[in-house]
Structure 1
Amino acid sequence: MTPRVREILSWYGADNPGTLTNLARIMNHGRLAGTGKMVILPVDQGFEHGPARTFGMNPDGYDPAYHVQLAIESGCNAYAAPLGALEVVARDFAGEIPLILKINNSDTLYGDKRPISALTSYIDDALRLGCVGIGFTIYPGSGERKHMYEEIAEASRLAKQAGLVVVIWSYARGEQISKEGETAIDVISYAAHIAAQLGAHIIKVKPPSSHIEQPAAAKVYQEQGIKVATMADRIRHVVQACFAGKRIVIFSGGDSKTTDVLLKEVSELAQGGGFGSIMGRNAFQRPKAESIKLLQDVMDTFAGKK
């Protein structure tokens, strides 16, 4: 156990030993073990966007075993997926990598301006499959946010009682938020703070832009001189918004990008004090050897080796 991992665990003093053990398992696994940084491979995009859009670029990805092997071989801290995918791999790869069960999901077959995800699995499933934690998506700004906040409050309570880690995907969107506003610095930091207040151990948000969506927030940013000009500045502010950096905040890879663009962004995330990346499509849609190199380059960047 490194001093950095012990320090991070000390921020979660309300949690039981089981939860702290599972959080330590994530931080002590893979290429970034002991650094307090993490790279997680999430593969919930097939549910969210459809199989062809997700796996058509690399047909090996239709098999869930491909993804868990990719996570293991590249040295990821954990692998996250919905119920069905984990049921395919949990027995064959038991104990080889920490697993996170994504317990709510949505699809694109029905367009709705009030986004909400459905509960698709439960705490008992996470325990049965040997998972270290659960993942849950919320959409701050959605007209359905009340239901999502209440669902994660109950799921989080049960998960913590069972000694599991709670990971919240916090994606602001809804009728009153513009498309540009979904990644605005004030909105991203607000969404991250909401996830922290809902009890997340690990918070996942998108990298923020310098756009400020809310006029009331813009006034404060200007008056207080809050720096948002560079990505590193913005990441620093998002981390600050999560209890002055006392919650783990990791950033999504987002839409597909070239390797150079992606690694430049990761470098800025690291400079700003981000705890890591949760990178799906930008990794598994590439050929396997290329995916492994990319993920390891990302890990080395967070470790300060690049």
Structure 2
Amino acid sequence: MQITPRVREILSWYESDNPGTKGNLARMLMTGKLAGTGKMVILPVDQGFEHGPARSFSVNPAAYDPHYHYQLAIDAGCNAYAAPLGPLEAGASTFAGQIPTILKMNSSNSLSRLKEDADQAVTASIGDALRLGCTAIGFTIYPGSDTAFAQFEEFRELSEEAKSVGLAVVLWSYARGGTLSKQGETAVDVISYAAHMAALLGAHIIKVKPPTGAFELDAAKKAYEAGKIATGSLTERIQDVVRSCFNGRRMVVFSGGETKGDTAALLGEIKEIAAGGATGSIMGRNAFQRPRDEAIKLLSDIMDIYKAAK
């Protein structure tokens, strides 16, 4: 595998990492339709844990089968496929070596009563990731939760172990819990803060939600106004998030969220995200809840947008 100058530049941002970790980052960046561009589109399928099987897969029953998601990610030309332990185990041999995989290390569920103290349980190990041939681990933190500090410590331990054996680290940073309002979970100041925390914690790839134009924290709003930081458009807000990730020296991908029936609107959002300098998208329900042909077409269109972005 001969890496491109752009991928070589991105790898240079991770100055402390060993050859194994850099090799796994390179593998993701050199896989699929966006290979070599420095952009990424990842298929994540952890929604069965989060929302339950019927809510996740009944609209497209083929998606009950973990092999469906492996094959979808491969055929669409994604950079990687992310899932919890069980789904990766269900297809690990059949699809070995065909696509980089990310083992989602912790999960929550909609039956839990956790609110202010939103949290997730660790459901896999670094040994599992190595056994399954994964390129990376994934982990979720909830900045704002009453249990966030313990989550940071859990991540620190797992991240150190993962990096020591050459795995890359992807961190889902979703502000939630505590006194955060529902609107505040996606407010621009909170999203940029959550992304920055993920960078501070040592993540190679940071996943956050697209930010809205709302503000949650009065002190942050004053700082944005004093610094004349533009937040009027989604592109401007994405630029702020990217800037918060060490001025663009850490890769940041944005979630697709709930399934959107209006494909044109979804692609319009992706164009703004790409224009803001994002590394890419991590697109779950908007892909696997569509019929396979539609999902592949959508993912292909999204990749074309990122490929055209400068």
TM-score range, shorter chain: over 0.9
Q: Measure, in 1, the Cα distance between the counterparts of 2:221 and 2:40.
A: 32
SS in 1 for 2:34: coil
Q: Deviations 1:19-38 (Å, cap 9, x if unpaired)? A: 00000000000000000000
SS in 1 for 2:308: coil
Q: Measure, in 2, the Cα distance between the counterparts of 1:180 and 1:224.
A: 23
Q: Is 2:243 the partner of 1:273?
A: no
Which residue identity lines up with residue 230 of structure 2 in the other structure? Answer: K
Which residue identity lines up with residue 58 of structure 1 in the other structure? Answer: N
SS in 1 for 2:13: helix
Q: Deviations 1:272-294 (Å, cap 9, x if unpaired)? A: 00110000000000000000000
Q: Is 2:46 the partner of 1:44?
A: yes
Q: Measure, in 2, the Cα distance between the counterparts of 1:170 and 1:146.
A: 13
Q: Measure, in 2, the Cα distance between the counterparts of 1:161 and 1:175.
A: 33
1:159 aligned partner: 162
Q: Which of 10, 29, 42 is equivalent to 1:8?
A: 10
Q: Measure, in 2, the Cα distance between the counterparts of 1:244 and 1:159.
A: 25
Q: Is 2:176 the partner of 1:135?
A: no
1:147 Cα deviation from its structure 2 partner: 1.2
TM-score by length of 1: 0.99
Q: Is 2:23 the partner of 1:21?
A: yes
Q: Measure, in 2, the Cα distance between the counterparts of 1:183 and 1:123.
A: 31
Q: Is 2:284 the partner of 1:262?
A: no
Identity %: 62
Alignment map for 1:1-306 (pairs within 5 Å): 1-113=3-115, 114-257=117-260, 258-304=262-308
Count of equivalent residues? 306
Q: Measure, in 1, the Cα distance between the counterparts of 2:251 and 2:55.
A: 30
1:175 Cα deviation from its structure 2 partner: 2.7
1:223 Cα deviation from its structure 2 partner: 1.1
Indicate the RMSD between aligned Cα atoms, in angstroms: 0.9
TM-score by length of 2: 0.98
Which runs of structure 1 show a deviation greater than 3 angstroms over 4 or more consecutive aligned residues?
Answer: none
User: 5+ residue gaps in structure 2?
Assistant: none
Q: Measure, in 1, the Cα distance between the counterparts of 2:131 and 2:65.
A: 21
SS in 2 for 1:12: coil
1:305 Cα deviation from its structure 2 partner: 7.5
